[in-house]
Amino acid sequence: MSDYYGNTGISSDASQSCANLDGDGYSFSADALAKAGVTAGGNVTSGGVSFTWPASCQPDNVLAAGQTILLTGKAGATMIGFLGTSTDGATSGPVTITYTDGSTSTATLSFSDWAGTAAQGENTPASIPYRNSGSGTSQSLTISVYEMSLPLTAGQTVASVTLPYVSDNINGNATMHIFSIGEG
In this prediction, residue 1 carries a pLDDT of 85
Give me the pLDDT at residue 40, please.
96
Query: Looking at residue 28, what is its pLDDT?
Result: 98
What is the spatial distance between Cα 29 and Cα 144, in angstroms, rounded to a whole number? 11
User: Mean pLDDT for each 10-residue chunk of the chain (184 residues)?
Assistant: 95 97 97 97 95 97 98 94 98 98 98 96 97 96 98 97 96 96 96
**pLDDT at position 122, please?**
97
Q: Which residues of 89-120 are buried (b: 16+ CB within 10 A; e: fewer)?
A: ebbbeebebbbeeeeebeeebbbbbbbbebee
The model's pTM is: 0.96
pLDDT of residue 182: 97
